[in-house]
Every structure is written in structure tokens, then in C-alpha cells.
Amino acid sequence: MTDALHEARKLLDEGDIPATVRQLRSAVDTAELREIAGVVRKLSEAVGFDDLAAAATKLTERPGQAQALFDFGYGCVERGISFLAVPALREALRLDPDTPIVLNVLVSALENEYRHAEAARLLAERDATLLPWPQRYLLAHNALLAGDLAQARAQLDRLPEPQDPHWLWPLGRLRRMTERAAAAAPRDLKDLRGWQFAVHGGYLLTRSPWGYEAGMTGRWAYTQDSYDRILHGLRRLGAVLGTAGAAPASVSLLPDRSSRILGTAAARHFGLPVVEFDPARTDTLVVAYDLNDGDQEQLSALGERTPGQILFEHATSWTDPPVVPADVSTLLAQVNIAPWARTLRVVEGETEQVPADERPVDELAAEILAAGPYEDEGDGEAPADPEEALTSFVAATAGAWRNGTRDRVDSPGPVPGSRFL
């Protein structure tokens, strides 16, 4: 047993489930599948996943059987631990290369881990025998999310219209992503603004100046927000709207407190009246501080776009995308703390809790508008991001912006990014 797997068993014996899962991620590529299955069995029993426990038990007893390998891999995918499924499903596919479902579930596991290049390569190796739906579609989809636009376009051109209406929406989403990618023409796999537009359909107003060469590539892992950065986002939003020729007639307020603060500030900044949120309202700027804080069922109605409607989100999660993607985002972060939220600070080496700022919405909106200029030079390694670069990008791509539905894509796309696990 490898040291990493031994540590996973120790953590499990101590009852630390999250740490066990993290440690299994370190062990999965070096430990034997039978030993991994033994730890997963105990882990599954501890959390009540009886189906996965049974599949893991079966694999420990029959480690060389394709069906046992598939059942274990499938169970891991279903329970949200796809990284553990990949080696088992690869071995199942080696043993049983002609069963489409084994290939399909392996591709699904790789997708869940954002290993799109591996998924595309796996499918491309079987080009001559791929079924159009879903396999050739999955090849085109994963090629695009891996940044291989030539492959994505070539495979999309070979796709026939699906007979099953279930595939009409994914096909439309893929076509829209491909069209936006053509307009954005990302220069490389570090072009965060270009790929955000291609994959998610939105304009990214700012890039993080921290850790660019250390794996963040313009995204934030953890950030404490500030009033001046929020105002900076509103100013850049105005530049985008002006460049794209968009002129909303109102600002729609979402019900959560942070969005109402930001929405009130946006309405005053742009000199527009405020209205309550109605997903069917036309010619309005819908303002969200963080879409994941809102009513997801209510927000899902924004998938169907109405004329003149613009969805703006200040802090977009790149590790947990919202139910619908914003048309414009100020920043991409894994964790962002609003300036009025409860937080922690360190004073003379001691950690203390700072309570939430409970002032009325109007006062906090005024705080945003009274903020000074936003200046964050970062660590000096990130490329400059002047407003002129943003507006030039908008001018070049506005014709492909806000076309069709707002399509959720549960992937950050091809730009690499370091994250908390």
C-alpha cells in the first residue's frame, strides 16, 4: 500500500471524511485499484452510500473483471468522486473496448474533472467507430473546452441532426460556443477574457493581478471585496454597454441583500429607475452581486433571453458556475467576501470576527458610489489590463454577444486555474 493511501485510511479511521477524499485524490494514480476500492468501501459505509460500498466490495473480490470495474467507476461518478472512477473505467474499457457505455461513462468522468483534453484524445483515437450521439458530439464538446477549436469545428461539421430531441439543446449550445469562439479568436490558453466569452458567453471586466504565473491566470481563489473594486466594475460595465450599443431602460433588483445593494448603486450610477425583478422584463439591466446567492429556480428563467435584457454579476464563481451565466462579470473567484459581509481579520497575531455591516441598503449603495479609484498592482507578474483592451474586445465580438439562450457550462474551459479542494 502506498504512503498516500495509508494516510487516507488513517484519516478515515479518524472520521475526517473530507480529508480522506482529498488524500485519495493524491493516491489514485499510484495505488492499486483493489486497495483503493477497499478504502472507498469503508468511506461509503461511513457516509451511507450503500450502492457504492457494494460496488467497491465487488471490485475488491474481482479486481480484473470488466463489469466490476465499470460498476465501481459508475458508482464513483454518480457520487461525485469522478477522479476515483477514471482508472477503473480505463481498465474496464481496455478489457471491454466495444461496449459504448463504458467509453461514455469514462468520458463523463473526465469531463467532471475538467480533463477535457484527455476526453477528446480518448474519443479521437476511436474516430472511425464513434456513434454520432453522444460520442462525436462529446468529442466536439470536449475539444472546444480543451481549446482545440479546429478539432471542435471539424467534428461539429460531421454531426448529423439528432433524431432524439434530447440532444437539440446541447447541439445548439455547442454551436453558440463555436460561433463565439470564432468571434473572440482566443490567442492562446491563457486568454481568460476570450475563453470566458467563448465558453460562457459573457464579458469579463477585470482579471486578478495576483498569482498569474502561479496558476491563477487572471482568476481569484480567495478575495476580500472592496467598495472601490465594485465601483470600478460599474464603470467598466458602462464602458462595455456603451461600446456594444446597449441601452437598458431600468435596473432590475433581485431580492437578495447583496444584489439589492449593488443594484441600487448601479441604478444611481447610470441614472436609471429601479424595478423589481421580472425575468420576462425587456430592456433592463438585471444586477446580481453573486448569482449563487439567489433563488436558483427563479433565476433559471433567465435562460430564455428577452430583448434588451442584460444580466450583470459582480462576482462569478468559476468553480461552481451559476444556474445561468452572466452577460457581464466583474471578476471570477472561487471565494469572494462582500465588503459588508461578516468576515475575519488578524490583529496582532490574533484572529477576530468582524460582524456584518447591517446598515440599510441605501447607505451601503452610497458607500460604493463614494469610493475612490481602484488600484491593485498585484505581484507584478500579470499582464496589464487597460480599459482600452476590454473595449476593443467588446467592439470585435459584440455581434456574437447575447445571441440565443443563456447556457450553463459546468466547466471553466481551457484556461488553467488553481483552486481549493
Residues with Cβ within 8 Å of residue 242, at least 6 apart in sequence = none
Whether 218 maps to a domain, the answer reads yes
Say how many Å lie between the first and final Cα of the chain, rounded: 24
Q: Are residues 356 and 376 in the same domain?
A: yes
Distance CA 9, CA 13 (A): 6
DSSP secondary structure string, 133-192?
IIIIHHHHHHHHHTT-HHHHHHHHHHPPPPSSGGGHHHHHHHHHHHHHHHHH---STT-H
**End-of-domain residue from the set 126, 156, 181:** 181
Residue 169 and residue 197 in one domain: no
36 in the same domain as 77: yes
125 — pLDDT class (breaks 50, 70, 90): very high
Q: Is residue 227 part of a domain?
A: yes
* 14 and 47 assigned to the same domain: yes
Asked if 177 and 116 sit in the same domain, the reply is: yes
**C-alpha span between 201 and 199 (Å, rounded):** 6
Let me know whether 20 and 158 are in one domain. Answer: yes
Rounded Cα distance between 270 and 277, Å, is: 18
CA distance to 30, 233, 332, per residue, from 329 (Å): 40, 8, 7
Q: What is the pLDDT of residue 4?
A: 86
Query: 150 and 205: one domain?
Result: no
Mark which of 156, 181, 206 sits at the end of a domain: 181
Q: 3-7, 143-147, 371-375: which range is least confident on average? A: 3-7
Residues 23 and 93 in one domain: yes
73 and 177 share one domain: yes
Q: Within this chain, do residues 163 and 200 fall inside the same structural domain, yes or no?
A: no
The amino acid that residue 252 corresponds to is S
Q: Please report the pLDDT score of residue 344 as a whole number.
A: 78
CATH number, domain containing residue 295: 3.40.50.2020
Verify that 351 and 390 share a domain, yes or no: yes
421 falls within a domain: no
**Assigned domain for 21 exists:** yes
Q: Which tens digit of pLDDT belongs to each residue from 150-200?
A: 999 999 999 999 999 999 999 999 999 999 999 999 999 999 999 999 999
- Looking at residue 420, its pLDDT comes to 81
- The arithmetic mean of pLDDT across residues 198-226, rounded, is 96
Which string of b and e fits 198-217 if b means at least 16 CB within 10 Å?
A: bbbbbbbbbbbbbbbeeebb
**CATH number, residue 54:** 1.25.40.10
Confidence band for 352, pLDDT divided at 50, 70 and 90: confident
One domain for residues 308 and 237: yes
Cell reading at 377: 498592482
Domain residues for 268?
Answer: 191-400
Domain-embedded: residue 414: no
Tens of pLDDT, residues 36-68: 999 999 999 999 999 999 999 999 999 999 999
Kindly tell me if the per-residue pLDDT of 311 is higher than 80. yes
Whether 209 maps to a domain, the answer reads: yes
Task: Classify residue 418: in a domain, yes or no.
Answer: no
State the total domains in the chain. Answer: 2
Can you state the percent helix, strand and coil of the chain, rounding each to 5? Answer: 55, 10, 35
- The number of angstroms, rounded, from the C-alpha of 307 to the middle of its chain's C-alpha atoms is 26
The number of beta carbons lying within 10 Å of the beta carbon of residue 289 is 26
Q: Tell whether 407 is covered by a domain.
A: no
